[in-house]
Amino acid sequence: MSLIDFKTDYYQVFADIDGADLEWWQKARDFMEVARPSIDEAWEKAEYNIPGVEEAARRGLITDGIAIEGQPETSIRANRLIQMELARTDASTATAHIVQSGLSMRSISECGSEEQKAKYLGPMSRMEIRGAFALTEPEHGSDSIGLETSAERDGDEWVINGEKKWIGHGSVGHIAIVWARDTADGEVKGFIVDQDAEGYSAETIQGKASLRGIPQAHIKLNNVRVGDDRRLPGAQSFRDTAKVLTGTRIAVAWVALGMAIDCYEKALDYAHRRVQFGRPLVKNQIIQQRLADMLQELTAMALYCRRLLELEEAGELNEKQAALAKVHNTRGARKIAADARDMFGGVGILLENDAARHHADIEALHTYEGTDTIQSLIVGKSITGVSAYRS
């Protein structure tokens, strides 16, 4: 059963969702309906709706499908539907979900020791501990593999120095998963750093026009000391970092789909209600053509996500396939959001109609988790055998 109307899910891509997966999808929808008023206020004021995200955690929605003692299990399918549904209402909330569970918790789940998993994953799933994923730097965004933050071994401790930028939860969290280059072997390692540690300072980036409902930070690390028990033992090179990023690029494809669904549905509803020159907008040929064009794009995005899901569930998905989906779906959502905002006419700039907010937020998705260009070049390298972004 699909929670999406057939006018949206035209090929019935999600018609076979049932059982626990359908229940989780419905739980996500129910939560967003309750959270909607505070979400709107948070976006307009550029404030983080921490109580709202904590409520999502109480409902078991912040796990990324990781098996955590004391938390109900969610399948890969349920997790992707949750991400899509959160984004259908608000990309900032969906991004908070990705930062907390898809990046921070997943880093510990994939690369942490059993002791680290036991200590952090439960509290993080309940949002008792908010986590950040500190990878990108002021001079290393798309080329994050070239990060300059250093980690030097000093007895039983590591001394970390450097800067990180555009880090969700970096100034409002409790811990940060800091990726730094080991001065001994030159490899990238991961560390769990307390945000109140001496030498850790973070400033929330101001003036954002996109994803205003979640803060990103500029972090400075000045001789921050962490014990070796805070090093992620499974993170031995940037390849391990990249494994975590593959999962979040999949998430961005689903988030883009959720945003596009809402834009299309809101535009369709408005076209039925709005009367111009004595008749509803939907009676105009150009409006029907534009809606049909939006549906074509939306259907392709849904089919991408469904195929991604099949590959992910089979354990066969690779980073190139994730990159292709991220590019395709963020481009599609960008176009649908722009068309929806235009179809609303003058009132399209009002936040109450959602299209302008989605239109602004999709610009962040177009860039983060690997820019549109970099993801395209990852795909390009896979089909040509030639790298265009490394010397």
- Residue 197 CA, chain-centre distance (Å), reads 27
Q: How do strand 175-182 and strand 150-154 relate by DSSP bridges?
A: parallel
Q: Which neighbouring-strand residues pair with 152?
A: 159
**Each residue's pLDDT tens digit in the chain (391 positions)?**
788 888 999 999 999 999 999 999 999 999 999 998 888 889 999 999 898 899 999 999 999 999 998 899 999 999 999 999 999 999 999 999 999 999 999 999 999 999 999 999 999 999 999 999 999 999 887 777 788 999 999 999 999 999 999 999 999 999 999 999 999 999 999 999 999 999 999 999 999 999 999 999 999 999 999 999 999 999 999 999 988 988 898 999 999 999 999 999 999 999 999 998 989 999 999 999 999 999 999 999 999 999 999 999 999 999 999 999 999 999 999 999 999 999 999 999 998 899 999 999 999 999 887 788 888 888 888 899 898 876 5
β-sheet bridge partners, residue 97: none
pTM, entire model: 0.95
d(CA 39, CA 52): 8
Q: Which amino acid is at 326?
A: K
Axis crossing angle, helix 285-313 with helix 238-273, rounded to the nearest 10: 150
The C-alpha atoms of residue 299 and residue 271 are separated, in whole angstroms, by: 20
- As a whole number of angstroms, the distance between CA 81 and CA 25 comes to 6
Nearest CA to 313 out of 36, 79, 77, 152 is that of 77
Dist. CA 125–CA 31, nearest whole Å: 16
